[in-house]
Chains A and B, each alone.
Chain A
Amino acid sequence: MENLEQIRDRLLARFPGAEVTLINNPGPSAQHSLLLGLAQAREIALFLRDDPALRLDYCSNATGIDWPAKEFTDVVRTPVKDAAGATLRILEEKTKRVTPGFLEVVYHLYSMEKKHGPVVIRLRTGNRTDQVTVPSLTPVWRSCDFQEREIFDLYGVNFEGHHDLRRILMWDGFKDHPMRKDYVAPDDYEWEPTPHGAVLEKAKAHYPAPPPATVP
């Protein structure tokens, strides 16, 4: 199979307006991935599936990832020197930089026909609050049907073009998206006086008085 750069160049040649950038994977597994712009994501996916050289006809895995907004404080130290060159004091400027958070969907594509390895494509949403729509790839690979519904259920990514987007694991009346990093678990613990700290405090807070000691 041709490596990722060649695929990216072919895609850029094929779809001039598309944004296809290569995301490097620092880990030893060296499974780099292609970030696709949302506008032509589905055409690119169809091309990847039907291209005679690639024939990526099997989407093994669709995963949702939550990248919360990160705060960086860059510290710039500028030494202030007096006339004789001795450093009087160091001036520190802390600049707070916040990278915007986003939700990401990763697809691992394989070819059953040519039996060659994973091509990883990533789709990113605008942000984590209102722009959470991503074109659904279920019309291209039907194996993403249930997995996209699970991402919608646990992450809140809205898949446009999915034929039956409902919650799949949580019950329909559930409001929140449990797999997000900023998800707060509901405080409806039964009274479980396990010795361990966290559960104990939460249970005590919930039930001030412990239940009457049960006769053993």
Chain B
Amino acid sequence: MTDPEIASPSAFPEPSVLATHSAATVRPVHDEFHGDLLEVSMGPQHPSTHGVFRMVVTLDGEVIVKLKPVFGYLHRNHEKLGENTTYLGSMPYTDRLDYLCSMTNNWAYALAVEKLAGQPVPERAEYVRVILAEMTRLVNHMCLVGFLFNDLGTSFTPLLYAFREREKFIDLFESLSGSRMMCNFQRFGGCRANPSPEWLGAVSKLVDGFPKFLDEYEQLLTGNEILLARTQGVGCLSPELAVQAGITGPMLRASGVGYDIRKADGYGIYPRFDFRVPIGAHGDTYDRYMMRILEMRESVKILQQALRDIPAGPVMDPKSRLRNFRPKPGEAYGRIEGPKGEIGFYLISDGSPNPLRYRVRAPSFVNLTVIEDMCLGRTVADSVVILGSVDIVLGEVDR
């Protein structure tokens, strides 16, 4: 139902000469015919911005002429806190970064510290970390798809189906780590507790039943004509601009760039598993939705392989130290493929128990760079959907 020639965003700005970027794509604003432009502030108190995020939108009728993201409302200077507590003390705070995927945040931080201190990790811990990371990816993608459909105007039905499945995974996290969302489970050199065989059995049973839920979900939504109309061709992002703007995760792969850190860096034991990385062709909101669905199917494959050949043994390296852990002076940048994109920790140690510099590279923060490029020329209703497809969590954006 969309008219291709509807005011689609003008030619993508030539990335190299950026200085003229903002002027080139904004139409002459105040000429006679336009009448006065309407400046609307969407957020920070708005039903569909995910958390305290604000977009100052300049509207000409329904069409967006200018869009400035404003955030920082949830800024609690996470990095200064990191500099004032010990390495172990920062671990529970990493749960609060992207509060939907605490396991992957913990793993990224643990990976960076292990790279900083050269700490080996036992075999079983690597498998447990892959299992937990892929479970977190499923949980996060379910949340994203649910919220995206809420922005599109369904009355909570897809969201509640997705949350019904998410609850089962969250309960497994709780029975393993003690808390549903704030797991604080990884330590430098392994995991805090050893998952019992019953727990692993419960995970494999849940994972085997997951594709059935996905099929029902796709039957409800993927073919829906209104969804096709509302999302295809909306918020297109060209591959060049995506790479140039440092977009990572499903949003990048939806634009056709097949870059997945699990394949590129091969950290942990990912090279042992065979899984495929789906790529989109148009880079619009529909592709980003389908990326998440296809990635969920790939994660199920990885989980089944990991659960099949997880070895026995300890999950914590005997030489790892909990208290007064002083890595030798140096710096390290560790990164993993989080559900939202590349989440990385850059640590500089000067031999003391507190890190000299503790930097978090949050995927949502960088993925927001192109929100204006995607929304120019679209209507207000589209901007809400495009923001939903970018999948931001304000705990991570504001740090």
Residue numbers of A with Cβ under 8 A of B are 25-29, 31, 57-61, 63, 65, 106, 108, 110, 112, 115, 117-118, 120, 138-139, 141-147, 154, 161, 163-164, 167-171, 178-179
Contacts and interface: CB of A to CB of B under 8 A. Distances in A.
5 tightest Cβ-Cβ pairs between the two chains A and B = A27-B330, A143-B246, A28-B118, A29-B332, A169-B72
Contacts of B321: none
Contacts, number: 122
B398 A169 contact: yes
Contact of A143 (B19, B22, B244, B331): B244
A147 to B, nearest CB: 7
B329 A63 contact: no
B328 A146 contact: no
Contact of A146 (B15, B117, B349, B368): B368
Given A142-B246, A178-B80, A163 B21 contact: yes
B259 A61 contact: no
B331 A27 contact: yes
A115 B259 contact: yes
Interface in B306-339: 327-333, 335
A164 B118 contact: no
Interface size class of B (residues with CB under 8 A): 35 or more
A44 to B, nearest CB: 16
Interface in B162-219: none
A162 to B, nearest CB: 9
A170 B72 contact: yes
A169 B238 CA distance: 28
Given A139-B16, A142-B18, A179 B77 contact: yes
Nearest to A65: B357
A112 B75 contact: no
Given A117-B265, A139-B19, A146 B369 contact: yes
A179 B80 CA distance: 6
A179 B79 contact: yes
Contacts of A118: 333
B359 interface: yes
Contact of A27 (B15, B265, B344, B349): B349
Contacts of A179: 77, 79-80
7 contacts: A27-B331, A27-B349, A29-B115, A58-B246, A112-B264, A146-B368, A154-B79
Q: Name the prevailing secondary structure of the A interface residues.
A: loop
B259 A139 contact: no
A145 B247 CA distance: 12
A112 B259 contact: yes
Interface of B: 15-19, 21-22, 71-72, 75, 77, 79-80, 115-118, 241, 243-248, 257, 259, 263-265, 327-333, 335, 342, 344, 346, 348-349, 356-357, 359, 361, 365-366, 368-369, 398-399
Contact of B327 (A27, A120, A139, A170): A27
Contact of A142 (B245, B265, B335): B245
B18 A120 contact: no
Contacts of B80: 178-179
Contacts of B77: 154, 178-179
Contacts of B265: 117
A63 B79 CA distance: 11
A63 B83 CA distance: 14
A141 B368 CA distance: 15
Contacts of A141: 244, 246
A117 B331 CA distance: 16
A28 B328 contact: yes
Contact of A63 (B259, B359, B398): B359
Nearest to A28: B118
Nearest to A63: B359
Contacts of B356: 65
A108 B330 contact: no
Contact of B361 (A27, A61, A65, A167): A61
Contact of A120 (B79, B245, B333, B342): B333
Given A58-B246, A141-B246, A31 B19 contact: no
B352 to A, nearest CB: 13
Nearest to A168: B72
